[in-house]
Amino acid sequence: MALKIALLFCLLSPVIKAKEILTYDIKSNDNNLLLKSVTIDTSHLGHFVLNPSRAIPSTNTSEVKCHLSNQVSKIEFEKETKCDSVSWDISFKPLDINGIDISSQQNVYSSSGHWILFEWGDIHRIKGIVESQVCINGKSCSPIPTMNQAPLIKAWGGKPILISNHLFEANIYADDILLDSKKNAINEKMSKLITYLRPIFNTQNGPVNWDLIFVNIDEKYRTVGGAAGYNSWVVNYVTNNGKFNEQRFEHTAHLVAHETIHTLTDIPLSFWVSESLTEYYTHKAFRLIEPTYESAIEELIRKQVAQGDLSKRIGEVEPSNENLLFFYTKGAAFWQAIDEQLAKNNSSLDDLVDTLAHYESDELLPESFIKKLVGIIGSFEAQKIIREYVQENSTQILVTHRWDGVCPQPLEHVMRQKNVE
C-alpha cells in the first residue's frame, strides 16, 4: 500500500528535466518602444511552479499571464499550475538629455536605439529548471544566471561596437558622443586591466565575452554610478547638456575598473571584503597603468578630512549597501596597508586573494587568509594592522565578529560615487 501511495505521489508531482534549457523570448512592440513582452513556451513542462524574480526595493513586477487552451488567467507565484505558455510585460524608461544614475538599475531605452534590461522584477524562474536563456525575437540569446550568480544585465538593439583581443571580446553599447572619442581608450584600458586582474580574480580559461554598457548622466547631478552583472557591466559617463565631458571621464574609468573586477571575480567573497577589495584593486590597477593615480590610503586621508566619519573600524560597521562608501575608503585602505607590509616581505596581496574565499557568516577575515598572512609578515604586524582598521579588541589573529545573521548578499554590486568634484 505504501508503495502504491509513493508511486501515485510521483505521478501527480510536477516533473522537470534537470537539463531542460528554457527560452524566454522578448518580443518587440512596434507601437510602443518602451514596452516589451516576455513569453515562455511551457507546453512541454506539464505542471510547474513559477517563482518570482529577484528584486530590489524599487522593483515593480507586472502581472504574469497563463495561456491554456485559448484561455488566459493570472498566475500565482509559488503555486503549482499548468499552461501552454506564460507571458508578462517589461517596461522601459526613456533616456533624455539628462541621462540617469544607472546604479538605480532601471530598465532604460536609449535614443541611440538600444535597450538595457536589468533582471530585477522581470526575470521569473520556473522551479527545477537549471538552464535557461533570454532571447530577443528568437535571436541574440544570453544565459540567465542562477540565483547564486550576479544578476542578468542585457543590452540589445542599436549599433554596438565590437572590441576584442586574445583576452576578451566585448560589445560596447553607448551613445555616439562617447564612442566617437573613447573607443580606442576603452579598448586599451580594458586590455591592461584584464591582463593584470584576471589571474588574481578569475580561475577560468579562455577569453571572456562581455557586454559593456555606458549610460550618460548630466554633471549637474554630481554623481556617477555603475552595476556589475553576469558577463556584463554598466557605468555612467558624464555629459554637460548633451555633450561629452572629457574632464570627468576619469570617474568613468574608475567605475570601469571597479565593475570589471566584480564581473571577473569567481571567488566567493563576503560583502565587505568584496566591495573593499574591489575598490583597492581599482586603485592598484590604475596606479600600475598611471603611477600618479591616487592610492587608497591617500583617498582615505582626503575623505577623512572632508567627511570626518571614517574613524570607526570595519568590524563596527554593518555590511550593507548604505555603508558602501565606508568600505570603499576605510576597507580599501586596510588592504593597501596589508599589501605594503607583504611587499616588505617580498610578497603581494595578489597571491593571497584566493584565500579570502568566504563560507562562514561570522568571519570578518577567513582563517585561511590569516594563517597565510601571519606566515609571511608575522603575528605582530598582522595584529597591528587588523587592530587599526578592523577590530581593536582582538588578542587573536583569527578575527571573528557576528553581525546578528548572515551578511547581506551583494546582489546589486552597486558602485556609487557621490559629490563628484
Rounded to an integer, the average pLDDT of 254-283 is 91
Dump pLDDT digits (tens) for 16-75.
444 568 999 999 777 899 999 999 999 999 999 999 999 887 677 789 999 999 999 999
Rounded to an integer, the average pLDDT of 311-327 is 87
Position 175 pLDDT exceeds 90: no
* Single-letter amino acid code for the residue at 5: I
The confidence band for 156, taking pLDDT boundaries of 50, 70 and 90, is very high
What is the residue-wise DSSP string for 346-371? T--GGGTGGGG----TTBSS-HHHHH
All cell numbers assigned to 218: 548630466
The confidence band for 120, taking pLDDT boundaries of 50, 70 and 90, is very high
Q: Write the CB contacts of 384 (distance below 8 Å, at least 6 apart in sequence).
A: none
All cell numbers assigned to 75: 498566475
Looking at every residue in the chain, the average pLDDT score rounds to 83
Q: What is the pLDDT of residue 30?
A: 74
The confidence band for 396, taking pLDDT boundaries of 50, 70 and 90, is very low
Rounded to an integer, the average pLDDT of 294-315 is 74
Q: What is the pLDDT of residue 58?
A: 67
Q: How far apart are CA 327 and CA 314, in angstroms?
A: 8
First to last CA, the chain: 76
All cell numbers assigned to 112: 541611440
CATH superfamily of 161-266: Neutral Protease Domain 2 (1.10.390.10)
| Contact (CB, 8 A) for 283 and 332 | yes
Quote helix, strand, coil % in the chain, to nearest 5.
35, 25, 40
Q: Write the CB contacts of 24 (distance below 8 Å, at least 6 apart in sequence).
A: 38, 39, 40, 123, 132, 133, 134, 135, 144
Q: What is the pLDDT of residue 363?
A: 76
Q: What is the pLDDT of residue 242?
A: 87
Rounded to an integer, the average pLDDT of 195-224 is 87
Rounded to an integer, the average pLDDT of 213-222 is 93
Domain positions in the chain: 15-92+116-150, 161-266, 274-389
3-state secondary structure of 329: helix
Q: What is the pLDDT of residue 72?
A: 96
| Contact (CB, 8 A) for 387 and 74 | no
Q: How far apart are CA 275 and CA 273, in angstroms?
A: 6
The confidence band for 251, taking pLDDT boundaries of 50, 70 and 90, is confident
Cα 195 from chain centroid (whole Å):
20
The pTM of the full predicted model, rounded to 2 decimals, is 0.81
Q: What is the pLDDT of residue 31?
A: 82
Q: What is the pLDDT of residue 420?
A: 44
Of 365, 285, 280, nearest to 328 by C-alpha is 280
